[in-house]
Amino acid sequence: VMLDLKRRREDVRAFVAALEQWIIGTLAAFNVRGERREDRVGVWVVRPDRPALPDGSPAEDKIAAIGIRLRRWVSFHGIAINVEPDLDHFSGIVPCGVQDHGVTSLVDLGLPLTMADLDLALKSAFEDVFGPATALPVEAERKAG
């Protein structure tokens, strides 16, 4: 995701929250309830099919990660929604330092989606959070024009 935050709002936390909201809106298109957590970046799904945690809270898995870089208030990188990764790859690591929760994917939740399906939902949900998308001219196009 490459956005000029000077045109929107120069607030990193608000931008991360907006990315999370975009993911939540995208997941809703597939009847998946994604949730934001104040103490954890990313988007989470409650797993009632799994045992509760020792403190009694419901099991949750991370379904989407966020990693951004800003340069002069222009964002680089962005989001990763787990569509169909090999979840065994996460068994030996602690994603984002969160030990009590696992990782899931859309396929793991029983939704055999493709990247094309997800791309359409992302495009559809984008304007609800960020407003109309505008393309910036590519350097080569500027030189040719």
Query: How much is the pLDDT for 101?
Result: 84
Global confidence as pTM: 0.85
CATH code of the domain covering residue 58? 3.30.930.10
With a cut of 60, say whether residue 143 has pLDDT above it: no
Provide the CA 89 distance to its chain's centre, in angstroms. 19
Taking CA atoms, 43 is separated from 37, 63, 140, in Å, by 8, 6, 37
Instruction: Specify the number of domains making up the chain.
Output: 1
What is the Cα–Cα distance from 85 to 108, expressed in whole angstroms? 9
Write out the residue range of the structural domain in which residue 87 sits.
Answer: 5-144
Kindly report the backbone phi and psi dihedral angles of residue 37, in degrees, each rounded to the nearest multiple of 5, phi listed first.
Answer: -125, 130
Task: Report the DSSP pairing between strands 40-46 and 102-103.
Answer: unpaired
Query: How much is the pLDDT for 141?
Result: 47
Q: What is the pLDDT of residues 68-103, one digit of tens each?
A: 999 999 998 889 999 998 888 888 777 667 777 889
By annotation, the residues acting in catalysis are 96
Amino acid at 49: D
